[in-house]
Amino acid sequence: MTPSSSGALTISDGRLALSGLLILVNVGLSAALRLGLSRSLLLASVRMVVQLLLVGFVLEWLFRQDDAPLIVLVGAAMALIAGVSAVQRTRQRFAGIYLNSLLSVMASSALVTGLAVTGLIQPQPWYNPQYLIPLLGMVLGNTLNGLSLGLDRFMEGLRSGRDQVETDLALGATRWEACRAVVRDAIRVAMIPTINSMMVMGLVSLPGMMTGQILQGAAPAAAVRYQIVILFMIASATALGVFAVVGLAYGRLTSADHQLRLDRLVKVGGQAEWRPAGAFLSWRRRGRSQEMALGKNNGQQD
């Protein structure tokens, strides 16, 4: 059974256009209250429509493919975007942060999604894009938030808690003993959204995937089963990814000599715009020149 042939009512072009009128409510409010949001609201609406229509075409094409390497490549590209986006939201950076984020996202999502398609859901074949791609997308979207929160909290925690960490180091603590509280706090904060959403799942929120399946004509009891698997996947991938990314950041911002290396941390200005490629390249350059400046001063210690 293919998605297009199943139960949900098809939305015609005219009705789709009509739904766009709903945004005029927002534009009207913004104009009346002089919120200055009209432009961004319209821009965001246009982007959303264009991006989704394009994705619709891409997915139609993708779901017809039967080539494991190609599908895995698409999955890897999704993970790449997620890994880069996770870093985009942080207020501080260090050289190598993108690589750390990518490694964490790829390892955690590949492991968890891999387990799901080979063991839990078992589509035939395992790389069936109709299952693999949406599952991976949901795992990535949530892991991304966890990584952003964890990274940001960890770097900020080290910076604001610097005096406490160095006090402990000066008293003979190892780097782990000195940073443990900051690491724990970062992981805890990163897991809060996942835990919260599981807590109120079904009571406050009906997840999008389940709603979609039900509209599509699936029995709610069956849709719920999918949702349970998905939530466990999200929770474990987020936990693994956050653990990895904070661990890697800890290794980078401390040294084997039990020193705090906040000199490797650079604040970034408000990069609110989503420019993965541009920011990625410009950061690589900045990060490298900063490392070189440090390398110049390195002497031996004893």
Partner 1 sequence: MPDPPTALDRPLLLSAAGLERRLGDRRLWSRLDLELAGGERLGLVAPSGAGKTLLLRTLALLDPPQAGRFSLLGRPPAAWGLPRWRAMVAYLAQRPVAGGGTVETNLRAPWRFQERRGRGGWNYERITGWLAALGRDHSFLSYDAERLSGGELQLLALLRTLQSDPTVLLLDEPTASLDGATTAAVEALLIAWLAAGPRAAVLISHDSEQIERFATRTLELPR
Q: Least distance to partner 1 from the beta carbon of 138, Å?
A: 39
Q: Least distance to partner 1 from the beta carbon of 181, Å?
A: 9
Q: What HEC string does the chain produce?
A: CCHHHCCCCCCCHHHHHHHHCHHHHHHHHHHHCCCCCHHHHHHHHHHHHHHHHHHHHHHHHHHCCCCHHHHHHHHHHHHHHHHHHHHHCCCEECCCHHHHHHHHHHHHHHHHHHHHHHHHCCCCCCCCHHHHHHHHHHHHHHHHHHHHHHHHHHHHHHHHCHHHHHHHHHCCCCHHHHHHHHHHHHHHHHHHHHHHHHHCECCCECCHHHHHHHHCCCCHHHHHHHHHHHHHHHHHHHHHHHHHHHHHHHHHHECCCCCECHHHCEECCCCCCCCHHHHHHHHHHHHHHHHHHHHHHCCCCC
Q: Which is nearer to partner 1, 169 or 279 (CB)?
A: 169
Q: Using CB under 8 A, list all residues that contact partner 1.
A: 163-164, 166-174, 177, 255, 257-261, 263, 294, 297-302
Q: Which is nearer to partner 1, 89 or 261 (CB)?
A: 261
Q: Least distance to partner 1 from the beta carbon of 289, Å?
A: 14
Q: Which is nearer to partner 1, 5 or 297 (CB)?
A: 297
Query: Is the CB of residue 117 less than 8 Å from the CB of residue 254?
Result: no
Please, which residues have CB within 8 angstroms of residue 235's CB and are 6 or more apart in sequence?
194, 195, 198
Q: Least distance to partner 1 from the beta carbon of 29, Å?
A: 46
Q: Least distance to partner 1 from the beta carbon of 262, Å?
A: 10
Q: Least distance to partner 1 from the beta carbon of 137, Å?
A: 42
Q: Least distance to partner 1 from the beta carbon of 263, Å?
A: 7
Q: Which is nearer to partner 1, 172 or 270 (CB)?
A: 172
Q: Which is nearer to partner 1, 14 or 299 (CB)?
A: 299
Q: Which is nearer to partner 1, 102 or 165 (CB)?
A: 165
Q: Least distance to partner 1 from the beta carbon of 170, Å?
A: 4
Q: What are phi and psi of 267, to 5 degrees?
A: -75, 145
Q: Which is nearer to partner 1, 169 or 242 (CB)?
A: 169
Give 122-130 contacts, CB < 8 A, sequence gap 24+: 125/68, 127/68, 127/71, 127/72, 129/62, 129/63, 129/65, 129/71, 129/74, 130/3, 130/63
